[in-house]
Structure 1
Amino acid sequence: MSDGRVMVFAPAPQLTVTIEQHHDEPELHVHPGGQGIWQTRMITLLGAHVTLCTTAGGEVGRVLAPLLDALPGVTMRMVMREHGSGWYVHDRRSGKREEIAERPGTPLSRHELDELYNLALAEGLRAGIAILSGPAKPSVIKPDVYGRLAADLRANGCRVIADLCGRYLAAVLESGLSVVKISHEELIADGLAADGSTRELITALIRLHDDGAEMALVSRADEGALALIEDEIYAVGLPRLTPAEHRGAGDSMTAGVAATLAHGGTLSDAVRTGAAAGALNVTRHGLGTGHVDAVRVLTERVRLTPIRKAT
């Protein structure tokens, strides 16, 4: 059992630069970003400790590395790279997100991958719970790395949570997973569901379970999630909140699941906390952010309603 720690595998973080409008003046925000970073923020807010296995390199990496080191409640296990980390610049002064420019970063070299893999394996086994987060672009790291890491962690008693899709999800399902979280848009894009109907998504959840996921969770924007827990499928009733930023809700959901399991909670508790964290995140502009008391209050309002048996 985990002792309140989670290893987050984030092989390709990004430097995020966002321009926003505050009253009559523009504001510049510079942060570390990417799926694993946003998950890390929420996990630590919920009281679990994160060991972050990640990389940084090049001119961008010289800016990114100290920002990563400054993340509170995080033990950093970083591989310094020869070449550049990824980045993006977004303009949100109009109230909408406009992409100005973006680079995913250069692919990890063989030596960098070997070093990162060893760090993630050791720290995942030490923590007992691991999240495998995906890269912004598939050019940076190949899916087979995820498949090997999931297999090695699982074979040695670590609970593995995957927030992946496409070839990355297929690679880790072959190894078996404790939890898989995916959005309904990703299921449709992967050909696992014909549309976003409850019937199609239930069929996809069962398939994910049959393919190797002990628990499967699909987010559906503001419609509420669906969860397969111990051969029962549930509708996850979410609190109604006014959104400020839709992005990041799924990552916060994954983080809530991981933090709860790290503290010894049940799968049902994990889904409820994850749903609350995701719902709260959409009320904020910062991704992977929120207040722990608000998450706890909202968790009490999340309802799991049985729909049908998975078998």
Structure 2
Amino acid sequence: MIYTVTLNPSVDYIVEVEDLVLGGLNRMKRDMKLPGGKGINVSRVLNQLEVANTATGFLGGFTGGYIEEWLRKEAISSDFVHIADDTRINIKLKAGEETEINGAGPEIAESETELLLHRLDALLPGDIVILSGSTPPSLGGDFYSRLIALCKQKGAEFVIDTTGQALKEALAQGPLLVKPNHHELAELFGVTISTREEIITYGRKLLEGGAKHVLVSMAGEGALFISEQGVYHAGAPAGQVKNSVGAGDSMIAGFVGTLSLTGDVLEAFRAGVASGSATAFSDDLADRQKIEELRPHIVISQL
């Protein structure tokens, strides 16, 4: 079983205006409300790929209810801890460029934290736990370490999709996959990266640090897959980019879901790039039809 953990989910309120006038009255051209949070995104795309999974984490208030009802309508299995505080709202303001205003996240009590740890106590050897996104400030900086320790104790694999110190600390525990984009990779090592060769150099450092597989997304330049068996590049397919939100999460879903079904890392890479691209070409996350349309167009070459 694959489990996705979203510690700080959101309702993403996407607002589009023609011309933003600061300090004046602006009228919406279009708006959407979508369930947000990186693990939730992964679960939604796994569901499109017909890969069994369970979404968990923390949800609270009317916003948490909105997310839970959306997942129910999409027939996604979920087992969230219900908290007293409200799940946050993130605003994505599109006016030419996109401006994001993200909420900090709810206060989570220690008793609520223990409930989530109890949920994951049912993990079995061979399960995969995908840990994605930010943590609410109330959880402290070491909560991912606690979850990883539980995964290791139960013999489950884990995927970590976060940045900074939390990612550095997770590497030594042998994550199944890490997936920085090229900007996050540079930030992680405190360097400037301007060439593909430099991306490969620092991607390999993630392998040396303990990761089993490394995916580095490079926007229009496609993606790199780095593992002990080699370095591979997949070009980005042609299409009109409509949406950057969730493309990386979709890539993780395509990779992990296909790897769990087939054991073939290159087919998993192909599915990851197809899924990420399908989301980039959509208003919301990728659907199965769009992923399958793109999959044959993903050309992989060994470097």
Common fold, TM-score beyond 0.5?
Answer: yes
CA distance in 2, matches of 1:52, 1:153: 16
By relative contact order (CA 8 Å, sep 6+), the higher-ranking structure is 1
| 1:172 equivalent in alignment to 2:160 | no
| Cα distance, 1:27 vs structure 2 | 4.1
In the alignment, which residue of structure 2 is the partner of 1:111? 111
Say which of 44, 48, 51 aligns to 1:48: 51
Shift in alpha-carbon separation, 1:138–1:305, aligned structure 2, 3 A: farther
| Cα distance, 1:25 vs structure 2 | 7.7
| Cα distance, 1:247 vs structure 2 | 2.7
AA in 2 matched with 1:228: I
SS, match of residue 300 in structure 2: strand
Shift in alpha-carbon separation, 1:147–1:19, aligned structure 2, 3 A: same
CA distance in 1, matches of 2:34, 2:198: 38
* TM-score with structure 1 setting the length: 0.85
CA distance in 2, matches of 1:105, 1:297: 37
In the alignment, which residue of structure 1 is the partner of 2:227? 229
Aligned length: 295
AA in 1 matched with 2:240: T
* Root-mean-square deviation over aligned CA pairs: 2.5
In the alignment, which residue of structure 2 is the partner of 1:97? 98
| Cα distance, 1:199 vs structure 2 | 1.9
- Aligned positions of 1:1-311 closer than 5 A: 5-20=1-16, 26-68=29-71, 70-92=72-94, 94-99=95-100, 101-122=101-122, 124-125=123-124, 128-135=127-134, 139-191=137-189, 193-286=191-284, 289-307=285-303
Contact 2:16 2:31 in 1 (8 A): yes
| Cα distance, 1:283 vs structure 2 | 0.8
- For residues 66-117 of structure 1, the C-alpha deviation after alignment (integer angstroms, 9 at most, x for no partner) is 334x25232111111122221123333x454344x54222242222111112
Contact 1:226 1:234 in 2 (8 A): yes
AA in 2 matched with 1:97: E
* Identity in percent: 27
Task: Please list every run of 5 or more consecutive structure 1 residues that lacks an aligned counterpart in the other structure.
Answer: none
Task: Please list every run of 5 or more consecutive structure 2 residues that lacks an aligned counterpart in the other structure.
Answer: 19-26
AA in 1 matched with 2:282: R
Contact 1:16 1:87 in 2 (8 A): yes
Contact 1:9 1:120 in 2 (8 A): no
- For residues 1-49 of structure 1, the C-alpha deviation after alignment (integer angstroms, 9 at most, x for no partner) is xxxx420011111122223479x98444222211111111111111112
- For residues 153-202 of structure 1, the C-alpha deviation after alignment (integer angstroms, 9 at most, x for no partner) is 23433222221211221222121111111111111122254314212211
| Cα distance, 1:262 vs structure 2 | 2.5
Contact 1:50 1:73 in 2 (8 A): no
More strand by share: 1
CA distance in 2, matches of 1:297, 1:20: 28
CA distance in 1, matches of 2:152, 2:229: 21
CA distance in 2, matches of 1:166, 1:138: 15
Select between 110-119 and 150-159 the one with higher mean Cα deviation: 150-159
Contact 1:53 1:120 in 2 (8 A): no
Contact 1:87 1:104 in 2 (8 A): no
SS, match of residue 177 in structure 1: coil
CA distance in 1, matches of 2:137, 2:73: 26
Shift in alpha-carbon separation, 1:71–1:229, aligned structure 2, 3 A: farther
